[in-house]
Amino acid sequence: MPFKLNATHSLTSDMVSESVLAIGDNAARQKLARRMSWAHWLTVVHPKAYVHDSVRLGPGTVVFAGVVVQPDAQIGAHCIINTGTTVDHGCVIGDFCHLAPGCNIGGSVTLAEGVLMGIGSVAIPSVSVGAWTAVGAAAAVASDLPARVLAVGAPARVLRKLEP
């Protein structure tokens, strides 16, 4: 049965053991995952997603309906691969990333830890996005982006730096 957390709760292993974290904010998900060090993290794939047999999915990662993940992609821990997103061959997706609905990630793209790819955004093959960077809705990442920036547009340009 789902366990609903409020501000007064202190989670313990008596309340919940096999878990995934359904929190879209990457930093919040990381914070809670660290607090729940006793948890057994599930990896959940919707039956109507296609994930090639060679793909590695980390613990706590959730793959939504309509997703396609192509051969030899690696997806880290506690990622959200949201509805209808595609991740092409050989991508490396770090821990705590969120690929919002309808993203298209080209082959051999690298997303470091904590990257948000906004709804409907794309990344052309072989680009890299630095840790904890957020890419805006409908953006097109056409060249490498540094860590901890907000980037928008097509091609994606840095709008501002993000605080740690």
Ligand X SMILES: CC(C)(COP(=O)(O)OP(=O)(O)OC[C@H]1O[C@@H](n2cnc3c(N)ncnc32)[C@H](O)[C@@H]1OP(=O)(O)O)[C@@H](O)C(=O)NCCC(=O)NCCS
Active site residues: 89
Q: For residues 115 and 146, give the distance between their C-alpha atoms in angstroms, rounded to a whole number.
A: 11
Q: For residues 138 and 65, give the distance between their C-alpha atoms in angstroms, rounded to a whole number.
A: 20
- 60-63 long-range contacts (CB < 8 A, ≥24 apart) are 60/19, 60/20, 60/21, 60/33, 61/20, 62/20, 62/22
Would you count residue 136 as binding ligand X (CB under 6 A)? yes
Position of tokens 């008596």? 14
Would you count residue 152 as binding ligand X (CB under 6 A)? yes
Would you count residue 87 as binding ligand X (CB under 6 A)? no
Spell out the alpha helix ranges (H) of the chain.
Answer: 26-35
Q: Which is nearer to ligand X, 16 or 137 (CB)?
A: 137
Q: Which is nearer to ligand X, 39 or 100 (CB)?
A: 100
Q: Which is nearer to ligand X, 16 or 147 (CB)?
A: 147
Stretch that binds ligand X, among 27-35, 64-72, 123-131, 137-145 (CB under 6 A): 137-145
What residues line the site for ligand X (CB under 6 A)? 24, 82, 100-101, 118-119, 134, 136-139, 150, 152-153, 159
